[in-house]
Amino acid sequence: MSQLCLGCMCEINGEQKCPHCGFDKDSVQSAPFLPLGTILQERYLVGKQIDNSVEGAYYIGYDNFMHSAIVIHEFLPSGICGRAPGNVDLVIREGSEQTFETLKKSFLEYYRTLARLRELSSITPIYDIFSENGTCYTVEEKLDCITFGEYIERSGGSIDWNTARPMFMPVLSALTSIHEAGITHFGINPESLVVTPAGKLRLQSFAIREIRQQNDMIDAELFDGCSAPEQYDPNAYLDERTDVYGFTATLFFALTGRLPEDADKRKPDGKLPLPTSVFKQLPPHVVTALAGGLQVLRSARTKTCADLKTQLSAAPTVRAIQNEATRNAAQAAAVRSYNAKKKSGIPGFAWVLVSCLSALLILVVAAIIWVSQSNFNIVISNGESNADVESSASSSASSAIVDTSDPDSIVVPNLCDKEYTRVLSDSSNAEYSILQESEAMFSNTVKEGNIISQIPEAGSVVTKGSSIVVVVSKGPQQRELPAINNLTVEEAIKTLSGMGFIVNKTEVANDQIAKGAVIGYKDYKVGDTAPYGSKLTITVSLGAETSA
């Protein structure tokens, strides 16, 4: 333990200053944060405080069972509690005892529910929750990543839609699952999303609802440009549409390099300035989705994350145009075949003229439908008129047509029920980009590791090189407990954690099992089933009990 740097949890080999991060091993952590070197649950080593919020503090830590760096989140609500220097027990401010207990109960309930969603790859998994020192803690995986805000800065200030789409869509899928479980975030912004070395986005900085709305209990933690208008009103109702606003604002930031104007300032007219250069590059359905997700009035906003995902996936009008183009191509081929067999006496140019007029009519009608259904208030920042906006939208929709006779277009295959890893390695899939795996889901009907669903759907016409986003089965939610007796603690924890369980241990004397080896489960037996994400306690042998 003395060989670990408490600033980064890397080996320092007795050096005074860490060669990795420069942290001095004689540093002292100021109150109200936990003293450096504190041990929690006889397992977790507490290091430097790395972040804090209205809700609590975050420390870098070390799991002495798993021998890995972690992040420890301490419930330390701002303004209503403190800690004397060098002490670990919290002191609650007089008169705030009831508030502290109410918020602490919310904290435990919230993160226990969140911990059961460990299978979602777009959030950072929580693998332990416990109470100690008069407060409570969560333990989560430490990621080697940067914030999305920093990622955008390194990317030149913004990214295009083709780059943003595979990054954001899995997060949107995760938000749908999170809300179905009764969890809300209400703090999505460029700093609550992080980018992994593999280029994947993960959502962090979850917090209890009381922190995310102005109220009389505790100071709210809101984010300019990303917090929805209703979060500034203590009497307003918050729901999934509140997270739709924060997500869409962050996507807007990714595509434009700037956040929307603060929600309070947008209330009078609700306009959403969009740079002309960005507008011309975005597909029309993405512009519509941005506007729908950033409506100031909650009642007018896109209702769910699933709805927003559908809007961002593909424009219904464009799909209709694609289908009509396919039918027109088939009809034209039939006409050419008929004319080759039997001359009808009608000049060839007449058929060409009729076909062209039909196609033009379809495009015009589709464009009119798209414009009429796009109920948004976009303001082009260089002052273009609404007519110019509609013209640009129609032009973009028309250019989105993909003809099946085009050598650069392909028909999407059916990947459902196929093994995900085999699909990735199948050389016949070279016409698509690497499949972007969306959030895995439990399924009692689709084998673990196989594909449950896909976007675009099978049979859709897309351009070569397009991405296909798939949802992969996690198998059944109930998992059968394996035999772990006589394993080492590390082996048992690794096995059970890999199955999605949260593992703790207790030690008892036993003359049949070697000291340090696992005896079995405390509350279960081999062959029992438990839900994914359950907390299991394993019993570990202390060896034979000795008399005095």
The tens digit of pLDDT for each residue in 210-223 reads 999 999 889 999 99
100-109, 123-132, 357-366: the lowest-pLDDT one: 357-366
The C-alpha atoms of residue 421 and residue 197 are separated, in whole angstroms, by 21
Structure tokens at 503: 């593992």
Q: Return the pLDDT at 170.
A: 94
Q: What average pLDDT does range 38-66 have in this prediction? A: 96
The C-alpha atoms of residue 237 and residue 303 are separated, in whole angstroms, by 13
Q: Which residues pair with 379 in a beta bridge?
A: 273
Name which of 371, 386, 393 is nearest 271 in CA terms: 386
Q: Return the pLDDT at 403.
A: 41
Q: Reply yes or no on whether the pLDDT at 203 is more than 90.
A: yes
Q: Return the pLDDT at 398.
A: 31
What's the order of all strands across the beta sheet hosting 451-455? 436-437, 469-472, 451-455
Q: Reply yes or no on whether the pLDDT at 155 is more than 70.
A: yes
Q: What average pLDDT does range 432-459 have in this prediction? A: 76
Q: Return the pLDDT at 317.
A: 44
Structure tokens at 152: 């955008």
Q: Which residues contact 411 (CB under 8 A, 6 or more apart)?
A: 404, 459, 460, 461
Query: For 302-324, what is each residue's pLDDT tens digit?
Result: 999 999 999 998 644 444 444 44
Q: 418 versus 407: which is more confidently predicted? A: 418
Q: Reply yes or no on whether the pLDDT at 438 is more than 70.
A: no
Strands, E assignment, 348-501: 378-380, 409-411, 436-437, 451-455, 461-463, 469-472, 478-480
pLDDT band (50, 70, 90) for residue 26: very high
Q: What average pLDDT does range 255-262 have in this prediction? A: 92
- The counts of H helices and E strands in the chain are 13, 23
- Amino acid 123 reads I
Q: Which residues contact 341 (CB under 8 A, 6 or more apart)?
A: none
Q: Return the pLDDT at 453.
A: 83
Q: Reply yes or no on whether the pLDDT at 176 is more than 70.
A: yes
Containing H/E element for 106? helix 97-115
* Average of per-residue pLDDT values in the chain: 82
Q: Return the pLDDT at 273.
A: 73
- Mode of pairing for the β-strands spanning 502-508 and 535-541: parallel
Query: For 417-426, what is each residue's pLDDT tens digit?
Result: 998 888 877 7
Cβ-contact 396, 388 below 8 angstroms:
no
| DSSP codes of every residue in 236-269 | S---HHHHHHHHHHHHHHHHHSSPPPPHHHHTTT
% residues pLDDT > 90 (the chain): 53
pLDDT band (50, 70, 90) for residue 240: very high
Q: Reply yes or no on whether the pLDDT at 274 is more than 90.
A: no
Name which of 212, 218, 259, 257 is nearest 237 in CA terms: 212
Q: What average pLDDT does range 41-60 have in this prediction? A: 96
Q: Which residues pair with 69 in a beta bridge?
A: 62
The C-alpha atoms of residue 362 and residue 522 are separated, in whole angstroms, by 68
The C-alpha atoms of residue 191 and residue 150 are separated, in whole angstroms, by 8
Cβ-contact 470, 415 below 8 angstroms:
yes
Q: Return the pLDDT at 427.
A: 65
| pTM (two decimals) | 0.67
Q: Return the pLDDT at 22.
A: 94
The C-alpha atoms of residue 435 and residue 421 are separated, in whole angstroms, by 10
Cβ-contact 488, 65 below 8 angstroms:
no
Q: Return the pLDDT at 432.
A: 67
